[in-house]
């Protein structure tokens, strides 16, 4: 079913909307949730929460797919925040550590909302291929192997590409005065 039609059904509180969303996006949403949460039970809980939030949302988006994925990511990260350090998914630990490399040492703090704007601006400067690699890694949480498979190239090329893009992001943020609150690695995963 066409996304516009699904949105229309959703706004009319028709249950068929949720069945259509499950049929069309269920697999992708579970996959995204699983990347960050690491187990199927939590991923299932996350996706159910997504449907609940989509049903109750007041404003409906222009892009159904991206909207659902964003809700899913928010929900997954919220579940992660409520977990103890022992239950942190190794993928998230790895991604967080990689993103640490992008944050320069300077003297001005930035709010997350402000950071989103900067990230959008940064992503707009990238060639399409590099942007997709970056988004697949740090938005979708894909492994290096998954990204390499899609691009039909060696994992080394993906790692190199991401490394260079992280360096560019670091420079981009530094030029905009974003700072880094240095913490020990262990502290980062205590939710502090």
Binding site for another protein (CB under 8 A): 27-28, 31, 61-63, 65-67, 69-70, 73-74, 77, 92, 95-103, 109-110, 112-113, 115-116, 119-120, 123-124, 128-129, 131-132, 135-136, 138-140, 149-152, 154-157, 159-161, 163-164, 178-181, 183, 188
- Tokens 């809980």 correspond to 45
Residues 140, 35: contact at Cβ < 8 Å?
yes
Nearer to another protein, 46 or 92 (CB): 92
Q: How far is the CB of 37 from another protein (least distance, A)?
A: 14
Q: How buried is residue 74: exposed, middle or buried, by Cβ count under 10 Å (0-12/13-18/19+)?
A: middle
Nearer to another protein, 1 or 115 (CB): 115
Q: How far is the CB of 111 from another protein (least distance, A)?
A: 8
Q: Print burial letters for 134-160: b (CB count within 10 Å at least 16), e (below 16).
A: bebbbebbbebebbbeeeeeeeeebee
Nearer to another protein, 16 or 121 (CB): 121
Q: How far is the CB of 151 from another protein (least distance, A)?
A: 6
Q: How far is the CB of 177 from another protein (least distance, A)?
A: 12
Nearer to another protein, 52 or 150 (CB): 150
Nearer to another protein, 45 or 101 (CB): 101
Q: How far is the CB of 5 from another protein (least distance, A)?
A: 18
Q: How far apart are CA 117 and CA 87, in angstroms?
A: 31
3-state secondary structure of 39: coil
Q: Where are the alpha helices (DSSP H) in 57-143?
A: 64-81, 90-100, 112-125, 128-138
Tokens read off for 75:
């929900």
């Amino acid at each position: 079913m066409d996304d516009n039609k699904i949105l229309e059904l959703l706004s009319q509180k028709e249950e068929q909307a949720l069945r259509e969303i499950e049929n069309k996006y269920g697999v992708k949403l579970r996959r995204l949730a699983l990347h960050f949460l690491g187990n199927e039970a939590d991923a299932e809980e996350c996706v159910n929460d997504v449907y609940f939030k989509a049903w109750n949302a007041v404003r409906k988006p222009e892009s159904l797919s991206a909207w659902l994925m964003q809700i899913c990511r928010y929900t997954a990260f919220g579940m992660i925040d409520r977990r103890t350090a022992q239950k942190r998914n190794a993928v998230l630990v790895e991604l967080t550590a990689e993103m640490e490399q992008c944050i320069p040492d300077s003297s001005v703090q930035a709010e997350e909302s402000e950071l989103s704007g900067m990230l959008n601006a940064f992503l707009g400067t990238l060639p399409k291929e590099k942007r997709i690699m970056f988004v697949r890694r740090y938005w979708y949480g894909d492994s290096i192997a998954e990204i390499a498979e899609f691009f039909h190239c060696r994992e080394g090329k993906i790692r190199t590409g991401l490394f260079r893009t992280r360096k560019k992001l670091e420079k981009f943020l530094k030029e905009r005065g974003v700072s880094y609150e240095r913490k020990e690695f262990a502290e980062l995963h205590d939710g502090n």
